[in-house]
Structures are given as C-alpha cells and as structure tokens.
Amino acid sequence: MMKISVIQMDIHLGDPDTNYLSAGRLITQAAESDPDVIILPEMWNTGYSLENIRDVADLGGVRTEREIGSLAQKYGINIVAGSVSNISGDKIHNTLLVFDRNGQRVAEYNKIHLFRLMDEHKYLDGGNSLSVFKLDGHLCGGIICYDLRFPELIRSLALKGIEILFVPAQWPYPRLEHWRVLSTARAIENQIFVTACNRVGSVGNNRFFGYSRIVDPWGNIAGELIHEKEDILSVEVDLSEVAKVREAIPVFGDRKPEFYSL
C-alpha cells in the first residue's frame, strides 16, 4: 500500500519567496495524515513568469533541495516536488525533482514537450531523457503537464516497469475534459496508477481548474478534487493492483511492436 497526498495549490507569479512559504505550509498540513508520498504541481516556485524567468528560477535546484528536501527528511516522507523553473548551466528547464524520506534528491526530469501555446519553448530548454525512480521499493515515473498528450512517452516508462506515474501540471480551462480523459486513458492503456496534480488560481486570461486526481490501473477514480480551490487529496492505493490487472488483461504480452514504428 502507498498513501499519496496531492497538493493542489495556487501559485504567485514570479514570487518564489511566497510560493516556497505556501508549499512548506501545505506540505506540513499534508504530513499530518502521515502519507508515504506528497506531490506538488508544475512550476510552483515561480509560475509561468517567463519573461524574467532567469531572475526568479532556482539555481540547480539548490533552494528546492534545501527547503523541500529538508521537509522530506523532517517528516520522513517522500516528496515529488512537482516541477520548478530551474537554471542548469546556461539553460533553463522545467524540472521535476524527487526527494526520498531522508531528504536526498533521488530523481530529476526536465520536461521534454514544451508547450508552445504558453511560449514555453521561447524561454525554456527541453529535456532529453526519461525519469524512472524508486520510492519505497516501487518503480515510479515522472512527466510534466503537456507530456500527458504524448502516449509514446508514457508507454516508454511503462515498458521500463513503472507502477505509478506522477504528473505535476498547470492545466487550464477550457481543457478540463482533456485532463480527465487523458489521465484516465494513460492509466488504462499502461495498466498503472496515475497521480495527476494540477494547480488552481488565475494568471491573465488563464484560469486553472485543479481537479487533481488519482486513477487506478482499471481506470477507476481512486480520488479526485472536483473544485478549483487549494486543497489536499489523500488516498491510499494498493500497488499490487498493477500486477493483477496486467495478469487479467495481458496487454504487454500481446504487443506487436514490429508494426508500430512510424
């Protein structure tokens, strides 16, 4: 069993000090229910403050490791620290960071598919590798927001044996049904748990609806926040369901990859 707490938070544009305080407060609140894993949304440290992103982004993930990694150690909880705007050398990435119960950074992933509708590609550099990591002995994968629209990416992670996929996001209206359908489809087709953490709040004309959710390998909704306000969703999931579903419907054994190359 794995208990997961999904933090659905508002994000203050270009104000990392306020956002780190908010994340710390919500992590402390989530820790009261003694989860195994806590997840934050996408780019929670700065939001999409892209025009001045170099001035406000984390440098090498150091601040995130210091503040969020220390909370992981303090509470003895794994934290999928969503993604942060992160400077690495001369590049700026949208980076997912993961900390274990000892506060150690055990994984990072730079978003591969940059979202052109929000000009992400003009200011950020795309990643070039997948993210597979272990939490409490369970194989996990991480993607970020727009990546959810690319089934090949998630299938690649599933073929590496992940049991659960973590998806931090800033997914706005009017694409609520896309968010719900795609997260459910990715769980069903890959026979994995999908934990999808979305932000709330508004920036300009973009309003973010929340609706953070956890979907099981059958496509059932294990838990969902059906509103657009700050909240914490805590759900205990049975990861042994992954093997049971794969035995019941042997999709992976029936694949014909020789026909799939485009």
Quickly tell me which residue has 């694949």 as its tokens: 255
Give the pLDDT of residue 146. Answer: 98
Q: 65, 108, 111, 163: which one is catalytic? A: 111
Q: Establish whether 42 is a catalytic residue.
A: yes
Question: For the stretch 190-217, what's the b/e string if a residue is b when 16 or more beta carbons lie within 10 angstroms of its beta carbon?
Answer: bbbbbbbbbbbbebeeeebbbbbbbbbb
Long-range contacts of 153-162 (CB under 8 A, 24+ apart): 153/112, 153/113, 154/186, 154/190, 155/189, 155/190, 156/130, 157/130, 157/131, 157/132, 157/190, 158/190, 158/191, 158/192, 158/252, 159/252, 160/130, 160/132, 161/132, 162/132, 162/192
Q: Establish whether 197 is a catalytic residue.
A: no
**Statement: residue 118 has pLDDT above 90:** no
Give the pLDDT of residue 262. Answer: 62
- Residues 2-255, CATH architecture: 4-Layer Sandwich (3.60)
Give the pLDDT of residue 32. Answer: 98
For residue range 16-31, list pLDDT tens digits in order. Answer: 999 999 999 999 999 9
Q: Establish whether 145 is a catalytic residue.
A: yes
Share of the chain above pLDDT 70, in %: 100
Q: 65, 108, 120, 145: which one is catalytic? A: 145
For residue range 137-158, list pLDDT tens digits in order. Answer: 999 999 999 999 999 999 999 9
